[in-house]
Amino acid sequence: MRDKLLIIGENKDASLRNVTFEAIAAAKKINESSEIVGVILGDEDLTNQAQEMIYYGADRVVTVKHDNLKSYTSEGYGQALMAVINEESPAGIVMGHTAIGKDLTPKLANKLETGLVSDAVQIEADGDKVEFIRPIYSGKAFEKKIITDGLTFVTIRPNNIPALERDETRTGDITEKDIDVTDIRTTIKDVIRKASEGVDLSEANVIVAGGRGVKSEEGFKPLYELADALGGAVGASRGACDAQYCDYSLQIGQTGKVVTPDLYIAVGISGAIQHLAGMSNSKVIVAINKDAESNIFNVADYGIVGDLFEIIPKLTEEIKKVNQ
Amino acid sequence: MNIYVLLKKTFDTEEKINISDGQIEDDGAEYIINPYDEYAVEEAITQRDTHGGEVTVVTIGDGESEKQLRTALAMGADKAVLINTEDDLEEGDQYTTVKILKAFFEERDVDLILAGNVAIDEASGQVGPRLADSLGISYVTTITSLNIDGDNVHIEKDVEGDVEVLETSLPVLVTCQQGLNEPRYPSLPGIMKAKKKPLEELEMDDLDLDEDDVEAKTKTVDVFLPPEKEAGRMLEGEVENQVEELVSLLKKEDKVL
């Protein structure tokens, strides 16, 4: 019988996050001949999202609609997904390593008494042998992991495994499954939006990060303008967060977020080993710093020595100019 | 209130990583309490000081782990438990860890369990949620605020930069994120007192477990360093020219714009 891999899709503001499509591509890497079954949960009609999953490579999609699935809770999503998993009995499950993925998948893995490889950035498969590569020590090293028993359960880091091309000619079944979701002990009272508008750090292709050299909360403004011009997100070093120039949720580093964007612009960041751990695997790194001796220049592809308050606005202008 | 903290020792964040024979070299490495677990210890002490009760710090490790437990005791925890698996376990994963912790907690009355959001070494972030599920209690990850009022628990949680406000009830397991608190340094009197505080040592036998019961479901087959970065290029000249050159390189050569 043909194997089946389940992709847990993730909704954000009524559309699917890109990592969902990356998860479909990841499943194809695990086993190209498997049937790819998407699952999406929510409290509204999910047909559009289901259709998108099919365009991106899913063979069919199961949706679960219930009032108690309006917002993510581990209990609500856990119940609904366990019902789907038990019915489908997939050979593997793939989900994004996002806030929800990190919260939910260990619970499912525990219920299934199975292993879970989290935060995979690369998948190498050769027949039945599937190896997952994931960063350890915040990217100071990598490990290659295999699953020795049970389901192939993996979360993938956003932005590392490219999604397949969207193909509107693809077709597949969409079934709505009726599952009762009850007895939820945790309720969400409110969500306060604080993250930089639109672009999430973990999924950003471009990150402009500021350090102590930015000097103040006000000093972050030109960085936001540059990030806007680039369609990117703003991040920070621990130094800038400790000095209260910005929120801790922006912190990149060993104690903070670990990011791998295509372009990382480090502004006024000296390059402590803890910060480098969180960003040094970015594809292209640009460092802008007053001090030519700064450690950040050792990992940068391009370096500019000078006053960031002079350089950043000029850079923003130049980028706007070439993008016109 | 019975408060427990899950603690893991990790390499100091200053440590460079070296590899020999496909393994991370740990000779002479400095170990610390996993930084996220420090938030958990601090929060546990604060909650105890508000609501009364006792803070017990639990770690799975080897003889060396005593040092991190003593540090937590010096910060203000009341008791420590070392589950020493040095002689019983060659390799484990999160499945293994949670099987052991489950056996440990099954016999205990628990109101609140705190853990770090992730450990900065393996960074799986799995142990907290897996354990809560095993014990049949609620959990909330990446919390930045915790208020307990009777059995009701008000929590703020970091969700990729946004803040989610939620309510749940005791018993609950939480994992701690930056912004929750400012961990204290152990004081000198704290360090002196810590030497006399109880530190219980258990082995897998004491939990009626043997190696087969906790056999890992995943295996690390290789460890390697990221490719070395080649020396970058320092741009020179007038600021305007540097900026123009940079944008042109990023667009034409690297194709990232």
Position B43 scores a pLDDT of 98
* Mean pLDDT of all residues in A250-263: 93
Of B135-144, B169-178, B226-235, least confident by mean pLDDT is B226-235
Cβ contact B243–A273 (<8 Å)? no
User: pLDDT tier at A200 (50, 70, 90 boundaries)?
Assistant: confident
Of A117, A163, A126, the C-alpha closest to A144 is A117
A34-56 per-position pLDDT tens digit: 999 999 999 999 999 999 999 99
Position B190 scores a pLDDT of 96
Q: Tell me which H or E stretch contains A51.
A: helix A47-55
Distance from CA of B250 to the nearest CA of A (A): 8
Q: Does pLDDT of A1 surpass 60?
A: no
Q: Which residues contact A97 (CB under 8 A, 6 or more apart)?
A: A19, A118, A119, A120, A155, A156, A157, A158
Judged by a CB distance cut-off of 8 A, whether residue B23 touches chain A is no
Cβ contact A301–B254 (<8 Å)? yes
A116-152 per-position pLDDT tens digit: 999 999 999 998 899 999 999 999 999 999 999 999 9
* Tokens describing residue B38: 């420090």
Position B227 scores a pLDDT of 87
pLDDT > 70: percent of chain A:
98
Position B161 scores a pLDDT of 82
Cβ contact B35–A191 (<8 Å)? no
Distance from CA of B78 to the nearest CA of A (A): 27
pTM of the model: 0.95
CA quadruple B140, B98, A102, A280: dihedral, nearest 10: 120
Cβ contact B121–A137 (<8 Å)? yes
**C-alpha separations of B56 from A223, A301, B67 in Å:** 44, 48, 15
Q: Does pLDDT of A196 surpass 60?
A: no
* Tokens describing residue B58: 């639990």
Cβ contact B218–A138 (<8 Å)? no
Q: Which of A75, A147, A249 sits opposite B158 (nearest CB)?
A: A249
Return mean pLDDT, chain A.
94
- Euclidean distance between CA atoms A269 and A214, whole angstroms: 8
* Mean pLDDT of all residues in B39-51: 98
User: pLDDT tier at A266 (50, 70, 90 boundaries)?
Assistant: very high
A154-188 per-position pLDDT tens digit: 999 999 999 999 999 999 999 999 999 997 889 99
